[in-house]
Amino acid sequence: MLGQRVVTAIVLLALIAGALAAPTHWPFSLLTLVLVAAAGWEWSRLNAAGSLLAAALAAALAAACAAALLAGWEEESPVWAWWTATAVWVVGGGIALHGGPGRWPRLPTGARWVLGLVALWAAWLAMTHARVVGLNFLISVFALVWVADIAAYFGGRRFGRRKLAPSISPGKSWEGVWSGVAGVLVLAVCWAWADRQWPVDSPSVFTHLAAELGVIGAAAAVIVLAACSVVGDLVESLVKRSAGAKDSSRLLPGHGGVLDRIDALLPVFPVALAFTRL
């Protein structure tokens, strides 16, 4: 299992690094399109779609991504896309988490498919647009999610007492959440300082937020983005628990499925772009 995890991680990192190193955004856009389509297939199967229907829904998602790419939306993205995705996560995520794993299957199946596919499409478009903005911007959003997750893990292990959502993810605690928030705030200060000292291809998301919202507003936005990463993780855990699945699929040997790797990213990218357009 460990060997599979290492090999899969190396292959994925090589593909992503190669796509990011390309002089244009197209390799990254196409690679992420394939990954998001795979995640759409996983989401559909977790929500009661048969094999053929899940493949059809994944193909429809890929077609919607390709249409946005051909329309040039990765370069001039419509602001309504970010706010639509934000609304989907606030409303849909809130309903899902409030109801818990037991109530999720009671929602209309079509509504569950649409919620997931819209969230995946918006996240893909946000990632491709972030790549166009600049590597520093894109990587800073990734780093925000990674640091929130790592700090929450270690903070939860050390200080965790109060369970966050025991029926969905028993291992998560409120102390872990606040540890993640603290880690992200430290990251934001350090990255914004580095932007001033060593300007690169683009400002980071933290510098963008400070320019748009001021220091206090940027801090509040960073806290919201850290919370969004937790919501994305919890929603996927809820759907898996509702379906009786441990992983979203076995597409990534040793790692589970694509959704298992990108769940926390899904709300963060569109919400981050919504904030930077305020």
pLDDT value, residue 1: 58
C-alpha to C-alpha distance for 237 and 263, rounded to whole angstroms: 9
Residue 49 corresponds to which tokens in the numbers above? 């779609």
Query: 195, 175, 264, 191: which is closest to 225 by C-alpha?
Result: 264
9 confidence band (pLDDT: 50, 70, 90): confident
Tell me the C-alpha distance between 161 and 164, whole Å: 9
For the chain, counts of helices (H) and of strands (E): 11, 2
Higher pLDDT among residues 223 and 256, named by residue: 223
From 33-37, 88-92, 241-245, the region with the lowest mean pLDDT: 88-92
Ranges of beta strands (E only) in the chain are 163-165, 169-173
The Cα–Cα gap between 76 and 128 comes to 11
More confident residue, 36 or 161: 36
Sign of the Cα pseudo-torsion (192, 197, 198, 199, in order): positive
What range defines the domain where residue 248 resides? 2-276
On the question of pLDDT at 278 being above 80, the answer is no
* Alpha-carbon gap, residue 23 to 31, rounded angstroms: 15
Which residue type does 150 have? Answer: I
∠ CA 25-264-172, rounded to 5°: 160
Q: What percentage of the chain has pLDDT greater than the value 70?
A: 99
Condensed to tens digits (0 to 9), the pLDDT of residues 45-97 reads 999 999 899 999 999 999 999 999 999 998 888 888 899 899 889 888 888 88
pLDDT in tens, 60-70: 999 999 999 99
* pTM as predicted: 0.93
Residue 3 has pLDDT above 80, yes or no: no
- Is the pLDDT at 266 greater than 90? The verdict is yes
Low-confidence winner among 161-165, 180-184, 251-255, 256-260 (lowest mean pLDDT): 251-255
pLDDT surpasses 80 at 195 = yes
Strand partners, 169: 165
Other C-beta atoms lying within 10 Å of the C-beta of residue 168: 23
Is residue 152 within 8 A of residue 180, CB to CB? The reply is: yes
Cβ neighbours around 166 below 10 Å, total: 11
Q: What phi and psi, each to the nearest 5 degrees, are found at residue 83?
A: -75, -30
Q: What is the mean pLDDT of the chain?
A: 92
pLDDT at 211 over 70: yes
Tell me the pLDDT band of 167, cut-offs 50, 70 and 90.
Answer: confident
215 to 10, 68, 185, 200, 222: CA distances (angstroms):
38, 34, 11, 21, 10
Whole-number Å distance between alpha carbons of 26 and 162: 45
pLDDT band at 253 (very low <50, low <70, confident <90, very high): confident
Q: Is 140 left (phi over 0), alpha (psi -120 to 50) or beta?
A: alpha
Q: Is 201 helix (H, G, I), strand (E, B) or coil?
A: coil
SS3 277: coil
Q: How far apart are CA 269 and CA 88, in angstroms?
A: 13
> What are 151's two structure tokens?
């700090």
Is 44 within 8 Å of 58 (Cβ atoms)?
A: yes
* CB of 275 closer than 8 Å to CB of 221: yes
Stretch (H or E) spanning 150: helix 135-159
pLDDT at 10: 86
Domain tally, the chain: 1
